[in-house]
Amino acid sequence: MMLKIPGTSPKKALSASLLCLLATALFWACLQPSIAVEAGAPIPPEEFGDDYYKVYGTPNLTLSLERTNLDQGEATSLFMTLTNRGRITSFQVNEEPGAGRREEILAAEREQELEKLRTTAQDVSVEIVTENKSAIDIKRAVAFPGNIREGQTSSRLEFPVEVYKNTKPGLYKLYALLNYTYQRDVAVKGDEDHPESPDVFYWYDTLSQVVPITIKVERKSGAEFAVLDISPAGLQAGSNDNVVKITIKNVGNDTATDLVARLRPESGLYVSVDESPIPLLAPGSRAELVYKLDVSKDAIPGKRYLLKILFEFSDSFRDDLTDSENAYLSIEPQSSGLLWLIGLLVAIAAAAVIVFLKRRGKS
């Protein structure tokens, strides 16, 4: 890695700006099928100007996904492996070791051996980003597979994801942002006093790749359900044995068979009959689900309570399918009819007492 030297001239500053523009261009170029590309060769540090060998080539990471098809509403993980397909592209002799100079011969042999590590991707990091965040949620976006040698495949990398239920079926773009370090050059300087222990100098640089990934989102079943109506739309706080009817429709293109719709209400509502079986629901057909609910006396008047309907069914191709839909129920204040009745009875009793006392006074 290069250090900036103080006192840089305007001409060099301009060169730095051009390098920034080049780096930006390389980033966008990487959005095409990715390949590692070295930036322009900077002036090497002093120790590397007259080393024995010049080697060219870089790591180049490719990725593989175990699956690229996901279902609507699915919470799962994408499993990825990275393979380093980098290679040495050229190898040239920069300087021959001196004849009879044992320290130079040993240094050249050591340098030649170390140059082979140029294509190792070191300290690799992977970040997954999605082009459409409203379609797919990446729960954990970063992984660190470590070092990957030339020809080696990394361990499985796990990225938990969730496809939102309202995500439309189709193709969606993700991008894998790969960042790593590699050994740009190595120089070995012989030591006449200690030939077997030469001085070794390493020059590291960084590379980035952007690998596009296409994910196909599918609907798990051709049968699809929609809530059309709920009756009654509201229940009184503290009421019991309320019969609630929910009308659903199969808005999909396949028939649902052996359909069981289970009701899971929000806290404050209690269901005593929570299943409503339907033998068959063809596309375009409607059905009425019937449940019995109790309402807590502490339920909040005016609040819309969630009723989650869990569907278990089969279609023309698969069994043991699941889906869900939401319905909402409003809570009304407790009835004051009983209080009115008590008040009326008290008033009648008071009037009777007054009449009785008046008649008694006359007598």
What is the model's pLDDT at position 47?
A: 61
Mean pLDDT split into 10-residue runs, the chain, 363 residues: 38 44 45 53 58 87 95 92 94 79 84 90 96 95 96 96 91 97 87 79 92 92 93 93 95 94 93 88 96 93 94 90 92 66 69 69 62
- What tokens were used for 269? 């509502």
Is the dihedral angle over the CA atoms 7, 10, 11, 17 positive or is it negative? positive
Residue 65, CA distances (Å) to 60, 81, 183, 215 in order: 17, 7, 28, 10
Superfamily of domain 225-336: Immunoglobulins (2.60.40.10)
The pTM assigned to this predicted structure is: 0.60
- What tokens were used for 162? 């969730």
Query: Alpha-carbon distance 249 to 278, whole Å?
Result: 12
What is the model's pLDDT at position 29?
A: 43
Domain 26-218 classification at class level: mainly beta
Element (H, E) at 106: helix 102-115
Nearby residues of 345 by Cβ (< 8 Å), 6 or more positions away: none
What is the model's pLDDT at position 130?
A: 95
Please check whether residue 84 is in contact with residue 119, taking contact to mean a CB–CB distance below 8 angstroms. Answer: yes
What is the model's pLDDT at position 14?
A: 38
What is the model's pLDDT at position 241?
A: 92
State the pairing for strand pair 234-236/321-332.
parallel
Residue whose entry in the numeric block shows the structure tokens 């590692």:
36
Domain with CATH 2.60.40.10 in the chain: 26-218, 225-336
State the pairing for strand pair 242-250/121-130.
unpaired
